């Protein structure tokens, strides 16, 4: 019941056909070869897979892929995915139809039936890619281009930056109690609005224009003070009546022509719902958790929701994905995004702030410790060495609550220096990625 119709295959093929210069066989063959021939597990991926061993070993198809006959993998083991290779070969030869209208879709529906799910073959046949206009904002002269609903990322990012624009910080104020307090109070309002107003714009009138307006940024600023307001005092935006309308992967790419792509896709929770479709070699997602089961009930990331994100047939669930491109004078400057559930938005936001406000290079901006606040629970989570003791005490004296110490987000970004004609790629050391150039 937790799985939604997988959209990644249709989305990536659509992007390739509409905007790409290579054919599907060229781009998918390296993945087929890697799945067929295998690769050696490093310690991070081995530990990640092994962390779910108790679940995988009790699901026969998952056990076949993600365990060694029920036992944990060792670092350096060869990880081969023969079933996945065959699935990718079908997609290579038949395109989207091979996934959504043929053998693959039928096997997913069969697996769903076995596990008490409600998938029908029509769910796959009727799945369509929707191309939407991005959220476009402006922050201190930089153009911020990000993802629209049904992701909350672009609206939340633009809303936060519009409020923050009313404050200035010296470079040495990074990590100060004044900066952390200001950012936290803004984030509380952003997540209050996310819970109330955001969902699939095809099914709910999301007040996008107002939420990303400079006018509303000033409204947020005017409500702020030196003392923290409890989360229960933050109410969603009052919308003027005028006509308007944790298992995630991100990659940022720039080519020699200056084309830039920021892409995030996800299974939602760690390894989705843990179920591998027998014979196909891939995991199903648990994206249905991103819907609001009922108003005010938190999902697995602790995020609240309302009727705007209620479950409906054919509706897309609300996510936190925030793939973003920052432009200066019409040219891409920063291509950025992150996995991390509810921390995606705050991670991307802080990297952008670090680059623009605190003049960090992209390596420094990503490596700098993050903080996170999502309204509920009413606490500032922070990274190791991210908050000094005096800053913590100062924040507490201003009414903030200090939460848990944990790593937040895993940002992948490219900074483009047009003066030097150089690309600077950085992969977050918190995660498993890497920066490569060809």
Residue 359 maps to a domain: yes
- Is 202 part of a structural domain of the chain? yes
Work out the widest C-alpha separation in the chain, in whole angstroms.
63
- The answer to the question of residue 15 being in a domain is yes
User: Does residue 187 lie in a domain region?
Assistant: yes
The answer to whether 285 and 4 have CB atoms below 8 angstroms apart is: yes
Same domain? 175 vs 241: yes
Domain span at 367: 135-245+320-427
CB neighbours (10 Å) of residue 277?
22
Looking at residue 240, its pLDDT comes to 59
Does one domain contain both 19 and 84?
yes
CA nearest 2: which of 222, 213, 257, 267? Answer: 267
Q: How many CB atoms lie within 10 A of CB 207?
A: 23
Q: Are 365 and 228 in the same domain?
A: yes
Neighbours of 278 (CB within 10 A): 16
Tell which residue, 379, 358, 380, has the closest CA to residue 368.
358
Per-residue confidence (pLDDT) for residue 138, from 0 to 100: 98
Please list the residues that pair with 402 across neighbouring strands.
380
pLDDT at residue 237, as a whole number: 80
Task: Please indicate whether residue 346 is annotated as part of the active site.
Answer: no
Q: At 7, phi and psi to the nearest 5?
A: -105, -10
Nearest to 275 by CA among 42, 437, 116, 123: 116
Do 72 and 170 belong together in one domain?
no
Residue 108 lies in a domain: yes
| Residue ending a domain, choose from 130, 145, 172 | 130
Here the tokens at position 145 are: 């281009």
- Cβ atoms within 10 Å of 241's Cβ, excluding its own: 6
Q: Under a CB-based contact definition with an 8 Å cutoff, are residues 291 and 317 in contact?
A: yes
The number of C-alpha atoms within 13 Å of 309 and in the hemisphere containing its C-beta is: 32
Kind and range of the H or E run holding 221 = helix 214-222
Q: Which pLDDT belongs to residue 246?
A: 54
113 and 144 part of one domain:
no
Half-sphere exposure of 128 (CA within 13 A, CB side): 6
Give the residue from 277, 287, 207 showing the smallest Cα distance to 242: 207
94 lies in the same domain as 165? no
Angle of the 343-356 helix axis to the 177-197 helix axis, nearest 10: 140
**Backbone phi, then psi, for 307, in 5-degree steps?**
-60, -20
Q: What is the DSSP string of 29-42?
A: HHHHHHHHH-EE--
Distance CA 220, CA 229 (A): 12
Backbone angles phi, psi at 146, to 5 degrees: -145, -175
Question: Is 153 found in the same domain as 115?
Answer: no
The residues with which 231 forms a beta bridge, in sequence order, are none
Structure tokens at 179: 């900066």
Same domain, 208 and 88: no
Instruction: Find the radius of gyration of the CA atoms of the chain.
Output: 22
Is residue 277 in a domain?
Answer: no
Same domain? For 238 and 380 the reply is: yes
Look at residues 79, 100, 130 and tell me which one is the last residue of a structural domain: 130
Q: Are 358 and 349 in contact (CB under 8 A)?
A: no
CB 375 within 8 A of CB 354: no
Same domain, 87 and 172: no
Tell me whether residue 122 is in a domain: yes
* Number of domains comprising the chain: 2
Which burial class, exposed, middle or buried, applies to 297 when counting CB atoms under 10 A from its CB (0-12, 13-18, 19+)?
exposed
Q: Which one from 87, 184, 208, 248 is the annotated catalytic residue?
A: 248
**Residue closest to 185 by CA, chosen among 206, 209, 159:** 159
For the chain, the straight-line distance linking the first and the last C-alpha, in angstroms and rounded, comes to 42
- Where does a domain end: 115, 130, 145? 130
The predicted model scores a pTM of 0.92
Integer CA distances (angstroms), 270 to 154, 172, 285, in order: 23, 37, 9
The pLDDT tens digits for 116-145 are: 999 999 999 999 999 999 999 999 999 999
- Counting as low any pLDDT under 70, the low residues of the chain are 239-247, 293-302, 304-305
CA angle at 56 for the pair 270 and 58, rounded to the nearest 5°: 140
Asked, for residue 206, whether it belongs to a domain, the answer is yes
pLDDT in tens, 294-306: 666 666 666 766 7
Pair 94, 143 in one domain: no
Same domain membership, residue 197 and residue 344: yes
- Write the CATH number for 329: 1.10.246.130
The Cα 156–Cα 27 span in angstroms is 33
The secondary structure of the chain in percent helix, strand, coil, rounded to multiples of 5, reads 40, 15, 45
CA distances from 392 to 23, 169, 366, 386 (A): 54, 19, 22, 10
Q: What was the pLDDT predicted at 245? A: 30
pLDDT for 130: 96
pLDDT of residue 412: 98
CB of 300 closer than 8 Å to CB of 105: no
**Under 8 Å between Cβ of 254 and 332:** yes
């Amino acid at each position: 019941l937790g799985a939604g119709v997988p959209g990644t295959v249709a989305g990536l093929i659509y992007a390739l056909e509409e905007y790409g210069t290579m054919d599907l066989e060229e781009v998918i063959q390296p993945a087929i070869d890697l799945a067929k021939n295998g690769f050696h597990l490093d310690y991070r991926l081995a530990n990640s897979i092994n962390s779910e061993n108790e679940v995988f070993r009790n699901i026969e198809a998952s056990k076949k892929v993600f365990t060694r006959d029920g036992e944990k993998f060792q670092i350096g083991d060869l990880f081969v995915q023969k079933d996945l290779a065959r699935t990718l070969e079908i997609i290579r030869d038949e395109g989207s139809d091979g996934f959504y209208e043929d053998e693959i879709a039928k096997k997913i529906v069969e697996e769903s039936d076995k596990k008490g799910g409600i998938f029908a073959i029509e769910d796959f046949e009727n799945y369509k890619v929707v191309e939407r206009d991005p959220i476009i904002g402006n922050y201190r002269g930089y153009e911020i281009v990000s993802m629209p609903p049904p992701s909350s990322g672009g609206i939340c990012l633009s809303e936060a930056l519009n409020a923050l624009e009313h404050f200035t910080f010296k470079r040495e104020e990074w990590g100060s109690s004044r900066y952390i307090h200001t950012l936290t109070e803004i984030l509380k309002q952003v997540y209050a609005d996310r819970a109330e107003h955001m969902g699939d714009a095809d099914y709910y009138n999301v007040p996008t224009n107002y939420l990303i307006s400079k006018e509303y940024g000033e409204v947020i600023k005017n409500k702020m003070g030196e003392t923290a307001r409890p989360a229960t005092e933050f109410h969603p935006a009052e919308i003027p009546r005028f006509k308007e309308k944790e298992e995630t992967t991100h990659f940022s790419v720039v080519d020699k022509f200056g084309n830039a792509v920021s892409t995030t896709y996800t299974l939602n929770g760690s390894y989705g719902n843990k179920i591998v479709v027998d014979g196909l070699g891939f995991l199903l997602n648990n994206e249905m958790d991103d819907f609001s089961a009922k108003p005010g009930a938190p999902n697995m990331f602790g995020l609240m929701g309302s009727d705007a994100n209620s479950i409906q047939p054919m509706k897309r669930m609300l996510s936190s994905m925030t793939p973003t491109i920052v432009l200066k004078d019409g040219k891409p400057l920063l291509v950025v995004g992150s996995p991390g559930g509810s921390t995606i938005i705050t991670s991307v936001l802080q990297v952008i702030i670090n680059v623009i406000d605190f003049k960090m290079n992209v390596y420094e901006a990503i490596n700098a410790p993050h903080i996170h606040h999502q309204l509920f629970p009413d606490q500032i989570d922070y990274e190791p060495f991210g908050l000094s003791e005096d800053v913590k005490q100062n924040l507490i004296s201003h009414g903030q609550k200090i939460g848990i110490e944990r790593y937040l987000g895993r940002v992948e970004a490219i900074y483009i220096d047009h003066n030097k004609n150089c690309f600077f790629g950085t992969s977050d050391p918190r995660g498993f990625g890497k920066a490569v150039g060809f």
